[in-house]
Structure 1
């Protein structure tokens, strides 16, 4: 029978693996930050060539995600 993986169960498994590996337990925050940064790095690598090849769309994208940046 399948069940949703809860945060507590996930951390329980991760911390058990860390203990076996002689590592420090985690409260979960560092896992979230690390996964987010990895996700952003991969997307930046994929999007960079496209954005460089299409400067008008790149400028519009920057304007949307960083509204304080002025257009030139």
Structure 2
């Protein structure tokens, strides 16, 4: 995977290792995006192998195989009948909308994907501060979403002292 990325996309910042392993043997891939919607200087994004259809390593490898973007193209360029095009937010959401229509399910918005990812991490038991950091949540909006989801809140509302740190974090202070 690393050699594929190195070979086809020279605009990635590869000054630091692309694949890293922590002292527990857990693997993570780091990509530096040269610029993002929120940062003109770019930012690092991280992902780790996952089991099943949601493995980002498999998805990225498949994308590179299917679309073969050139080194000068955007990493997430795709094959259009009129040539290679960078994947835009509107095109991505249009593809999701088309897939949802074909499946007979409700369409997702960009915000809905953000919330869905947040919920997935929380349901896996990832600590709240970690999820907040992964999702780049600012301010108290994150806590507001916690209050709306009984499935996430249920384990923490039980009579168990081990859950006190979460209760202190998620519930409003007593006046």
Fold shared per TM-score above 0.5: no
TM-score of the pair, normalised by structure 1 = 0.44
TM-score of the pair, normalised by structure 2 = 0.22
Q: Which has the higher strand share?
A: 2
